[in-house]
Homo-oligomer: A and B are copies of this chain.
């Protein structure tokens, strides 16, 4: 249950505000998240972490001396936007480059990668190691596909210690990759969690049952049993983790950090009872326990569950792990309070608009009309989109689309009022969408609108073929960023037939209205057909099979929006 909020839409923002107010000695707010409020020497690699909110102490609580330099903080369970990630990274950069690390989830990869590209394009070196510690989220041979859970802490911590020790960017990445390679976690859950204002839990576990391997956003587990005794659970956790010792490690005498992490409403006392047996079993297995951790390091709102992480040390990792840490929710070792940095104001970039020519300004008016239609379509369908998404995902597709489309319209109107041409107006709208919506769908709509914008130009009137080319670019962009193929039950399932039909019809010299209408119909049909597909691995969902019979919400959105835009085109053609 969640009980305390004002407007649920403001929850994440107000949470960050309160968090910063309570922890000003460690962090200060910047657009998109927080950075350290203490002095960081120039020439130190900046370690940036982040992800959706709702996992406190992850991620803001892990910013401070000896740990992260900054955290991009998205909405609840939604990736921060690329703009947010970029903004936090820029604020934390000390001239030695930026190292990104975060749990391996599609939406986060999409947005962090986009921010990384933007930094690189500006000459800021940037590298990434995603955390993939959850052993039940993919087979050992596909470790790179695994999700990141409480093992975040070992990777963030050793990477940050390396940065503080003066390692360069390549070396920080090397340390993080080795830490990730030597970190294995395994979790169980007893209940789901309920987001602020939501009428029901995001996902559930039957009463009296324990889900094995269930992800922290409800991603499907591998098994379900009756709730065991504390000792039986300890045995299960240890057994599974000792069945997958990282390559090249001799178990007898190996030094490990065990981290027993609570997901939110499992109590410390219960965890200590479980840890008692874990310590016995690890010792019996010949392992040497170093610096055990029992507490909450990466929660999932009020989810009841726990995970055990084993971090297999080597000499360098153990030395780095010994580095003192002083973050709002995590302190370790001998800590000397650091000096406060001057709080330089970080202002969101506000580049002036160069007006388009008269023809392009006229097209920009159509762009504005199109954005209005999109907003209306999303508003009309927001509940249904949320409902569909709650079956296979985390139920926030509707409100994410709403947040994004409204921000896009506002930015588009501001640009049009400032005399922008079509490209600038739509590109401003695209950036605002991605920034405010966050998550996967926000990033993808940002890519789509930006791709189309690039073909519109700020001078003259574009041809129908330019529009089609923009849409085709958008599909390539979405597939590159989202790494999804047709059949993965994503928006791509509707986007590919849409662009194929649009391009083919225009090449057959059909009028734009007819071509668009046919393409929208193809998208809608494909969205409907996606109900028969299994969702792609790695996508947040309760149980894959539950999603059969429900279409992909991203594909449905695309069908609805393209259909509505076809109707607008028809009006304008009359």
Chain A residues close to B by CB (< 8 Å): 1-6, 11, 14-19, 21-22, 25, 53-54, 56-57, 61, 76, 190-191, 196, 210, 227, 229-231, 233, 260, 264-277, 279, 291-295, 299, 301-302, 304, 329, 331, 333-337
Q: Give the Cβ gap from A553 to chain B, nearest Cβ, in Å.
A: 25
Q: How far is the CB of A206 from chain B (nearest CB, A)?
A: 13
Q: CB-nearest residue of chain B relative to A228?
A: B4
Judge whether B269 and A53 touch: CB under 8 Å: yes
What residues of B have a CB within 8 angstroms of the CB of A22 in the complex?
260, 272, 275, 279, 292-294
B3 A276 Cβ-Cβ under 8 A: no
Between A11, A267, A276, the greatest number of chain B beta carbons within 10 A of the residue's beta carbon is seen for A267
Residues of B within 8 A of A292 (CB): 21-22
Contacts known (A22-B272, A292-B21, A294-B22); A14 close to B230, Cβ less than 8 A: yes
Q: Is the CB of A265 within 8 A of B302?
A: yes
Shortest beta-carbon distance from A12 to chain B in Å: 8
A574–B395 Cα distance when bound, in Å, is: 78
Within 8 Å CB of A271, what residues of B?
Answer: 4, 18
A276 near B17 with CB under 8 A, answer: yes
Q: CB-nearest residue of chain B relative to A24?
A: B292
Query: A15 contacts which chain B residues (CB < 8 A)?
Result: 269-270, 272-273, 276
State the CA gap A3–B269 with chains docked (Å): 11
A323 to B279, CA, bound (A): 33
Find out whether the CB atom of A272 lies under 8 angstroms from the CB atom of B6.
Answer: no
**A274-B18, A335-B335 known; A230 and B267 CB under 8 Å?**
no
Q: Collect the chain B residues with CB atoms within 8 Å of residue A333's CB.
A: 335, 337
A272 touches which of B18, B25, B273, B336 (Cβ 8 Å): B18
Decide if A266 touches B3 in the complex (CB within 8 Å).
Answer: yes
A15, B270: Cα distance in complex, Å: 7
Nearest chain B residue, comparing its CB with the CB of A283: B21
A413: min CB distance to chain B, Å: 30
| Contact, CB under 8 Å: B331 / A2 | no
Contacts of A265 in B (CB 8 A): 1, 264-265, 302
Task: Give chain B residues whose Cβ lies under 8 Å from the Cβ of A304.
Answer: 1, 3
From known contacts A18-B294, A275-B18, infer whether A230 and B270 are also in contact, taking CB-CB under 8 Å.
no
A2 contacts across to B, CB distance below 8 A? 267, 270
How far does the alpha carbon of A504 sit from the alpha carbon of B354 in the complex, in Å? 105
Contact of A6 among B5, B19, B230, B260 (CB under 8 A): B230
Find the B residue at minimum CB distance from A324: B335
Closest 10 CB pairs of A and B: A18-B276, A18-B272, A265-B265, A56-B268, A4-B270, A18-B275, A331-B331, A22-B294, A21-B279, A4-B230
Tell whether, in the assembled complex, residue A274 and residue B335 are in contact, meaning their CB atoms are under 8 Å apart: no
> What would 7 more interface pairs be, CB under 8 Å, given A17-B276, A18-B274, A56-B269?
A3-B190, A4-B227, A6-B229, A6-B273, A18-B273, A22-B275, A22-B279
A267 CB contact (under 8 Å) in B21, B302, B334? B302
On chain B, the residues within 8 Å of A11 by CB distance are 269, 273
Closest residue on chain B to residue A208 by CB atoms:
B3
Q: Could you tell me the distance in whole angstroms from the C-beta of A87 to the nearest C-beta in chain B?
A: 21
**How far apart are the CA atoms of A539 and B270 in the complex, in Å?**
26
A16 to chain B, nearest CB (A): 8
23 pairs across A/B with beta carbons < 8 Å?
Answer: A4-B227, A4-B233, A5-B230, A5-B273, A6-B231, A14-B273, A15-B273, A15-B276, A18-B277, A18-B294, A22-B292, A22-B294, A56-B268, A56-B269, A76-B269, A196-B270, A267-B301, A268-B299, A269-B301, A295-B329, A334-B335, A334-B337, A335-B335
